[in-house]
């Protein structure tokens, strides 16, 4: 059994249980938070790193903009890559 500590953009922590590391990697794009249903989920240790915190902040900003009918996700994504 392969257990991974995960965290979503809203800082909800939870565990994922997989058959293997390969199984986790294959299912990574289908993960969502069981509390808020966010699809932006990272390993907890990654979410606590400097880059991880910046990505989580960006995910919250993009989610907020989409809720207001704005969608600048592409430009925000490239901003993170270039910073």
Domain extents for the chain?
A: 2-82
Q: Which of 19-28, 52-61, 73-82 has the lowest mean pLDDT?
A: 73-82
**Which pLDDT belongs to residue 73?**
56
Q: What is the dihedral of CA 9, 12, 13, 19, to 10 degrees?
A: -70
Of 42 and 73, the one with more pLDDT: 42
Query: How many percent of the chain have pLDDT more than 90?
Result: 4
Both tokens of 25, joined, read 């990697």
Q: Are 24 and 18 in contact (CB under 8 A)?
A: yes
- Give residue-wise pLDDT tens across range 2-41: 888 898 888 899 988 889 888 888 888 888 899 998 888 8
- Check whether 68 has a pLDDT greater than 80: no
Question: In Å, what is the CA distance from 66 to each residue of 21, 59, 69?
Answer: 33, 11, 5
The H or E element that residue 77 is part of is helix 73-82
């Amino acid at each position: 059994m392969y257990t991974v500590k995960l965290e979503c953009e809203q800082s909800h922590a939870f565990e994922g249980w997989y058959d293997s590391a390969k199984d986790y990697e294959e299912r990574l794009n289908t993960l969502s938070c069981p509390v808020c249903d966010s699809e932006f989920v990272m390993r907890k240790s990654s979410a606590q790193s400097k880059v991880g915190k910046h990505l989580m902040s960006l995910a919250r900003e993009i989610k907020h903009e989409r809720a207001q009918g704005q969608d600048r996700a592409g430009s925000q994504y490239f901003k993170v890559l270039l910073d």
